[in-house]
A and B are shown apart, each in its own frame.
Chain A
Amino acid sequence: MNDTAITRSLDDAIRPPDRAAMRLDVVLLLSAVGLVACSLVTIASATHDDVPGQPQHFLIRQAVYAGIGFALMLAASRVDYSRLRELKYGLYGFVVSSILVVFALGNVTRGSKRWIDFPFVRFQPSELAKLVLILALAAFVVDRVRRLDERDTTARVMLMALIPCLLVFAQPDLGSGIVYIVVALAVLFTAGTSFRHFAALFVLAAIALSLVFVAAPAAGVHVLKPYQTRRLTAFMNPSDNPRDQGYQQNQSRIAIGSGQKTGRGAAHATQTKLKFLPEHHTDFIFAVVGEQFGFVGAALVLSLFAMMIWRGLRIVTMAKNLYGAVVAGGIVAMLLWEVFDNVGMTVGIMPITGVPLPLMSYGGSSVLVTFLALGLLQSIHVQARAAAAAKGRAALPF
């Protein structure tokens, strides 16, 4: 037995048996658990009267999703994410094909085709595609890391995001499409793409948007469905037609505002209880929190999200390799955007795009994918700790 071997066995001997678990980011884990708890409490009261005779219909389902998601997260945290890089073509292929499958087999709900029905569950591929797209794009970027200053790299990555984006726009699912663009930008940003490229992208986007919203309708071509245009612009003047597009946001603002500092309590939250608030357990769950628990409750939920973003950014800096950093950057951007978009929508500063609030909104696809994303972050954290330990280096001091 040589010295190295002795050291290693000693090392093993003084380490607690569950090494991987100990290397999880506990703060990130607690923020997720806290959000799930908030979600369950809110759903329990908001949906109490939704399904006659089954006051806990949505509560039980959300709890089951969260349980499965939690297990999925723990499992994912034990996998070395670096291996996923090799699967980039398969991952990207999955993104595009899963969205295409929806067109073939999908189920129409409230005018849009986003779900595939399985025997017991329905699944929304565009949710999972967000995460898989991050993994695929990160892999492409890391492959071309030496050519990041070439316009070609940036263009290719953006094009790769644009394809699934336009596909989900057609479902129509504006929210997910925008998330794809956001994560692609985050992947490029974290990897180190030149700021000049971002400036160019910004100009291009401005031109494209003015084409879609101004030039094309003037020429008689409607890229967006009329209701989408109305939705996207309704938030700017919500009281224009309160019965129509602005109705949901108006009711949502009334719900949040009426919660005041400490909330109206579940029994007196009339906006939720009397169903003035639409989609109270899915897209507008934050408004329920605002009405029932007031500024205090809303601030608690936002703080948990802020904690999650902070830990995510910390993991970006810790990652043992560029792939890890870029994936973590993509995931953090995805979570940050979803939180801002959804909460912004409920408080009336963002258009209604149908993005769920991660871990809070009711819905299996979203909960499972968010937990999977958190699992990946944990995996990056675990791998970084393991690598640091192996090199005898301390983790970052924050």
Chain B
Amino acid sequence: MIQLYEERRPPITPELALRVAIFGGVALTLFAIIFFRLWFLQVLSGDKYLAQAMGNQLREIRVQSPRGYVVDRNGTILVDNRVGIGVQVDPQKLPPDGPQRAILFHKLASVLKIPVGRIGREIKRQRKLLPYSNVTLKTDATRAIYTYLFERRDQFPGVTARPLFVRHYPHRDLAAHLFGTVGEISPPQLKLARFRGVPQGTIVGQGGIENVYDRYLRGRDGATRVQVDALGQPKGELQVVAPHQGQQLKLSIDLDLQKAGQQALKDAGGGLPGAFVALDPRNGEVLALGSTPTFDPNLFSKPVSTRLFKQLNSKANGAPLYNRAIAGLYPTGSTYKVITATAALQSRIITPSTVIDDPGSVKIGNITFKNAGGAAHGSVALRQALQVSSDVYFYKMGAQLNGVHGEPLQTWSRRLGIGRQTGIDLPGEFKGLLPTPAWRDRLFRKHQTDRPWSTGDNVNLAVGQGDLQATPLQMAVAYSAVANGGRVVTPHVGLDVEDAVGRALQRIDPGASRKVHISDANRQAILDGLHLAASAPGGTSADVFKGFPRKVFGKTGTAQRAGQGDQSWYVCYVPDGRRPVVVAVTIERGGFGAQAAAPAARLILSQWFGIKKKFVTGQSRTR
């Protein structure tokens, strides 16, 4: 206890000394805490905080780069960019949350004709992806909307319009199935290796060649680095990186041939669904590839409504988005006989001169298989069998090939590409179905079918009927292999990656998938038969190609499909020193091969070889 008296100079008592010492100790401790904290912040973690301070004040504003153009093999533009008016809002400049903002959103929604709730959702979503950037509400507004907003800009604070690049397809529905769409990169895509280094919010290819060749077409977005203050107001530009347009992609497609093909399908099919492929048999370059019904890809440069999307996919409309050339799975009818012939010849079941009697029908097991129309062709060897499309000949082939060691028919079908993907550079290709004993027996064991494999299955396969499912592209590849002497090509639509002025930077050549050995004599016999079919009297497509100045090697096909009319097929090869071509055409419910598909093929070939187009339907009623 300190005993002090007022107004007297206090001697410094031990008690006071102790208390001042404690006081000093507390002060020392507090200062030490502050000093250590400062040392930690400024000396030990200074780099981290400096980086945070830099991050605070720097904002990158993305500048969209235009995607590269897509051109056809002659350099004609197929896909380019159009400058659209994007309506955006700057969230910083919007009125504060509350009734004022709600009124603005309502007005804006009615002008842009979008649901009111979407504005708030889009702002939230896009801000999360790209903070500090403007939020795009409409990518392709009309001139009228732009004028309306511009004239009333004081009523729409924070709403701006700016040019945005929109994909443009000048030829509208031509080759629409090839291109695919573009769109903002999705969160799952960001994790893919092929999109490594692509920043959020980038427009990337979402389908077709836009997707497959995205890394060439994409380009590099530019950026403006700005210094901003705490309110996000720009204080000055620090660095500008110019956007870099994507490279140009040259396709192997020939625009005129594509046009002719689509027109031919329309002329021959009269609006029926169908598909065609034109292939260079030497290297697999796809010269034209189309599917009807088609659509205008320009529809996809703005958000597609659910209703429109349903329309584009509805079966009743023929599902225009569905690419029948690579995803249409059909029995192929007699066009398959080329594959059966190859299998029978190469497995030495027959020789080209083996004569087989065709009395018009054949009984295999308990079932009688008949020729179409019941015609009897008499004794035929392979060439005649192909010429007149003798079903009995090939029924017998199918029966003979059944149970042979190594399953030659299935083996050769697989070798020529049936039941497997061709490897075309388009997403969405189907591999189809090659019926094999193992496959059917497995289904039977699982009780998914009523019977095991039987000879009849092989008989059906031999003439392209039954469970077989193949695409027009697979048939074109198989015919190409027979035509070119055994190289199974990988079809591809991409040809060259070019710079902006069309100089080739990189060749796209996937090469052949594999080589199969077909002896010259056998191959010649098959080609002879195909040529007879398209030229000699009695040939299934001879009347269609009457007067056609080129040598055509073609086979009609008429596929019977359960529950609908016969499907018309034609696959042919026309040799040429510089521009040989394989064309495959199919038209659903088109009737006999000579009725619809073969005339369409003639139109396509006429275009390719510069011959006056003439629409000729054939009379052949063979399958």
Contact = CB atoms under 8 A, between A and B. Distances in A.
A binds B: yes
Interface of A: 82, 142, 145, 148-149, 186, 189-192, 251, 253-261, 264, 270-271, 274-276, 290-291, 294-295, 298-299, 302, 305-306, 309-310, 313, 316-317, 319-323, 325, 329, 332-333, 336, 339-340, 343-344, 347-349, 384, 387-388, 391, 393, 396
Contacts of A271: 53, 56
Contacts of B271: none
Nearest to B33: A349
A333 B56 CA distance: 38
Interface in B1-32: 1-2, 4, 6-10, 12, 15-17, 19-20, 22-24, 26-27, 30-31
A302 B43 contact: no
A324 to B, nearest CB: 9
A275 B41 contact: no
Contacts of B6: 142, 321-323
A291 B52 CA distance: 13
A257 B2 contact: no
A261 B23 contact: no
A194 B38 CA distance: 36
A276 B26 CA distance: 34
Contacts of A344: 33-34, 37
Please name the 8 residue pairs, one residue from A and one from B, whose CB atoms are nearest each other, closest first: A257-B49, A260-B46, A258-B53, A274-B229, A192-B2, A258-B50, A275-B230, A295-B42
Contact of A396 (B2, B4, B12): B12
Contacts of B508: none
B45 interface: yes
Contact of B9 (A275, A298, A348, A388): A388
B444 interface: no
Contacts of B37: 344, 347-349
Interface string B37-63: 111011101111110111011000000
A348 B27 CA distance: 19
B228 interface: yes
B227 interface: yes
Interface string B344-372: 00000000000000000000000000000
Nearest to A278: B230
Contact of B57 (A190, A274, A317, A322): A274
A221 B303 CA distance: 53
B235 interface: yes
B237 to A, nearest CB: 15
Given A322-B6, A347-B34, A192 B15 contact: yes
15 contacts: A190-B16, A191-B2, A192-B1, A256-B38, A257-B49, A302-B34, A310-B24, A313-B24, A313-B27, A316-B20, A332-B23, A340-B34, A347-B37, A348-B37, A349-B37
B23 A329 contact: yes
B148 interface: no
Given A306-B31, A313-B24, A319-B10, A253 B49 contact: yes
Interface string B268-291: 000000000000000000000000
B4 A276 contact: no
Given A260-B50, A336-B27, A302 B35 contact: yes
A143 to B, nearest CB: 9
Contacts of B20: 190, 313, 316-317
Interface string B238-256: 0000000000000000000
B43 A260 contact: yes
B231 interface: yes
B23 A313 contact: yes
A343 B34 contact: yes
Contacts of B9: 320-321, 384, 387-388, 391, 393
B228 A274 contact: yes
A20 B368 CA distance: 135
Nearest to B23: A313
Nearest to A49: B229
A279 to B, nearest CB: 12
A201 to B, nearest CB: 16
A257 B231 contact: no
Contacts of B43: 260-261, 295
B53 A270 contact: yes
Given A260-B43, A275-B229, A388-B9, A309 B38 contact: no
Nearest to B50: A258
Provide the main secondary structure of the chain B interface: helix
A190 B15 CA distance: 10
Contacts of B47: 260
A323 B17 CA distance: 16
B49 A340 contact: no
Contact of A290 (B7, B15, B38, B230): B38
A308 to B, nearest CB: 10
A253 B41 contact: yes
Contacts of A189: 19, 22-23
A332 B19 CA distance: 13
Nearest to B58: A270
A149 to B, nearest CB: 6
A340 B30 contact: yes
Interface string B406-428: 00000000000000000000000
A82 to B, nearest CB: 7
B182 to A, nearest CB: 34
Nearest to B38: A298
Contacts of B26: 336
A190 B26 CA distance: 13
Nearest to B30: A340
B238 to A, nearest CB: 12
Contacts of A190: 16, 19-20, 23
Contacts of B39: 295
B168 to A, nearest CB: 41
A257 B48 contact: yes
Contact of B41 (A145, A256, A317): A256
Contacts of A321: 4, 6-10
A28 to B, nearest CB: 15
B38 A148 contact: no
Given A190-B23, A349-B33, A325 B10 contact: yes
Contacts of B45: 257
B49 A302 contact: no
A316 B2 CA distance: 14
A295 B2 CA distance: 43
Contact of A298 (B19, B42, B50, B52): B42
Contacts of A295: 38-39, 42-43
Interface centre among A274, A332, A349, A396 (most CB of B within 10 A): A274
Given A192-B2, A320-B10, 8 more contacts: A145-B2, A257-B42, A260-B46, A270-B56, A276-B53, A302-B38, A313-B20, A344-B37
A302 B10 CA distance: 32
A145 B13 CA distance: 15
B39 to A, nearest CB: 7
Contacts of B42: 256-257, 259-261, 290, 294-295, 298
Contacts of B35: 299, 302
Contacts of A305: 31
B46 A270 contact: no
A299 B38 contact: yes
Contacts of A256: 38, 41-42, 49
B52 A258 contact: yes
Contacts of A322: 2, 4, 6, 10
Contacts of A323: 6
A253 B1 CA distance: 45
Interface string B484-521: 00000000000000000000000000000000000000
B56 to A, nearest CB: 5
